[in-house]
């Protein structure tokens, strides 16, 4: 009899938990859909990057051509000492991309219309950068 009472109590708790989860499932699903339905900012085009130098005072000029498919980006990077492909992603108003170059640069930033600003890293050193869309 004691085992049967324990079994009924466990079964009742399981049904109660399932009921709570079932009732909240539409709200959880709706919240997830809202995040997935938001389209990332459009960053396709040609950009001029003004980057602080990681090793010494001053800035240097770089360019990047970005091709965007959904939240994925590819394209081409050109700096003063190297050039190569890029790959990365856009998450709403944030961008991350890395260069496929001898010294890999990783850019992270916040998109605000035709400008982006953030921090980039190379060889463990970081510096600020900003970019302006040129087309």
Residue 74 CB-density burial (10 A; 0-12 exposed, 13-18 middle, 19+ buried): middle
Evaluate if residue 13 carries a pLDDT over 80.
no
Distance between CA atoms of 55 and 73, rounded to whole angstroms? 28
Residue 59 pLDDT class (50, 70, 90 cuts): very high
Q: Looking at the predicted structure, is the pLDDT value of residue 34 above 70?
A: no
Encoding tokens for residue 96? 């991350």
Please tell me the pTM assigned to this model: 0.73
Cβ neighbours around 26 below 10 Å, total: 9
DSSP state at residue 134? -
pLDDT of residue 38: 86
């Amino acid at each position: 009899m004691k085992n049967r009472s324990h079994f009924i109590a466990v079964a009742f708790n399981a049904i109660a938990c399932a009921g709570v989860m079932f009732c909240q499932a539409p709200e959880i699903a709706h919240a997830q859909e809202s995040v997935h339905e938001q389209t990332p900012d459009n960053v396709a085009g040609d950009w001029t990057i003004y980057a602080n130098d990681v090793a010494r005072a001053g800035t240097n000029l770089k360019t990047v051509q970005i091709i965007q498919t959904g939240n994925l980006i590819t394209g081409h990077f050109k700096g003063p000492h190297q050039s190569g492909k890029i790959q990365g992603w856009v998450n709403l108003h944030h961008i991350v991309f890395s260069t496929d170059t001898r010294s890999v640069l990783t850019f992270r930033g916040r998109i605000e219309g035709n400008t982006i600003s953030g921090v980039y890293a190379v060889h463990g050193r970081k510096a600020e950068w900003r970019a302006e869309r040129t087309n």
